[in-house]
Chains A and B, each alone.
Chain A
């Protein structure tokens, strides 16, 4: 962050968002723009890092705490920031990958998945930061909740196709519930019959222990 403040070149593109200067969004009109989601996650991470940086400078100036003690004392917040940074990385990587798709039908469904992922991640448990930094308003969050349901409905017809596209062989999945042909109940019964406990009609435990009890 200090490198950014000093206008220095950053070593890595994965933290390039620290250099962005834009802070104002008009979210409601931007919801259909997928880049918008990347930007708001980046803005949140940037603000969190900036606040932490300022806080640590203040601690360094006003106390004799060692860097280690300061890190330890702030570790819960720092790990939260690390998570937010990683979410930013995931969202940006997802978007950068899908925007180069050439097939329009594939592009369409990937866009829906991307948006669902972004909205879901946002709504999960991180909305506090977005509200605190006034990146999102309560109204926008309500709007996003509706958007989430719309996206589920849109994705629904393609749900099976989307998992088929992972291209897992039945042997790789090794699942009676998930096999490609969908003959789940036959597979469940067949697997139950293979259970070595069913090898004999009467389990030895019955003859050894329970039979005498029954005779009594």
Chain B
């Protein structure tokens, strides 16, 4: 397009140099480019209509099919680094990997919480997708306040097992991604009772579906929750368990242990239970920044192509030349850069903390927790508002799903409530500031 070409000729700096600079640490430009190009080149992408034209079931089926092919291809290409794997799978599936929570929550939790024996038993199975898992914490009546979770796991001496139950309607596990139709295993957070005592929230590995038939196992009710504003492929599910029995060694026991006699021993700091959540929250800050950058890219390019109205010489004006359009879009542009840089710093702090000794990690945990909570809240709420500005700045065409802007805004909208409601997260930051 001649207008875009002219715009590019006007640029006063070396674009590639800026790309390399802005993505210098976390994003590894060259590796990311190579991996995503490999993913986009696969012929599978030419075999279906754009996702917007598929109904819910076709949509889900297409994404599962693509996710399976993507994981096979990734193995063939020898992509083992977890960040690289997520980039490759994300590019392959339009960021709707049917196993994303398996990779980002289920596997890391096993790595962090399992004993050596459990690690040996489950990690390889999980890595090879012989089991597909998700992380079940939130309940129908309980969101951020984890102390109120009602699901119980009661130790039974006679059978050396736990009996897991969701005793009330509000205890129903609700919202976990990839739970509705995909997962056959879950890491389930439940209140542990042993020898008549409540020993707090602990993680349990629970099989929920038959490996051969994918039928829910006895005592398990599982399904997808109602339609959402977006996330058609998120497969968010609900789960009810009625006195489901699991062997004692399926409690993840690195941080706390229950022995054959039902004695409970704490082995590590329970705050580490939330480390997986922290990792997720840090990566969300990057995602929010990238989503805003995408929305801005779409709106600015289109504003360079689109002409409307007329100047006093009777010529149509390029939309991007209107101060009002600049007032809408340039703050979004500057904010995208600001968020990428802020994430970069957050990630640096996070990596430094995680590389420390365990007792130092615990000492620094409140700082990184407060920072990631606050930045997740700010990047999601501001990006959501700004992506809507980008959408509106494209006039009627911005309302089309094919503009890409509708989807971006809805993902950001969801981001304002998942992994912690933004008001609650900002209160966490405020508490930390008071302590400081």
Contact = CB atoms under 8 A, between A and B. Distances in A.
Interface of A: 1, 3, 10-12, 14-15, 18, 49, 52-53, 56, 71, 75, 78-79, 81-83, 85-87, 89-91, 93-94, 96-98, 101, 103, 105-106, 108-110, 113-114, 116-117, 120, 149, 151-153, 155-169, 171-184, 188, 191, 194-196
A166 B400 CA distance: 23
Contacts of B3: 182
Nearest to B344: A97
A181 B298 CA distance: 12
A166 B297 contact: yes
Nearest to B7: A160
Interface residues of B, number: 88
Given A93-B338, A171-B36, 4 more contacts: A11-B364, A78-B434, A178-B301, A178-B404
B298 A177 contact: yes
Interface of B: 1, 3-5, 7-8, 10-15, 17-19, 21-23, 29, 33, 36-37, 40, 45, 49-50, 53, 91, 94, 293-294, 296-302, 304-306, 320-321, 323, 326-327, 329-331, 333-339, 341-342, 344-346, 349, 363-364, 367, 371, 374-375, 377-378, 394, 397-398, 400, 402-405, 407, 423, 426-427, 429-431, 433-434, 436
Tell me which of B300, B334, B335, B433 has the highest count of chain A C-beta atoms within 10 A of its own C-beta: B334
B394 A177 contact: yes
A36 B434 CA distance: 26
Contact of A177 (B7, B29, B363, B403): B403
List 10 A-B pairs, minimum CB-CB distance, nearest first.
Answer: A182-B1, A175-B404, A178-B298, A161-B11, A182-B4, A117-B334, A160-B7, A78-B430, A93-B345, A82-B429
Contacts of B14: 103, 105-106
Nearest to B379: A90
B133 to A, nearest CB: 28
Contacts of A82: 374, 426-427, 429-430, 433
11 contacts: A11-B367, A15-B436, A49-B433, A79-B427, A82-B427, A106-B13, A110-B337, A114-B337, A172-B91, A177-B397, A178-B297
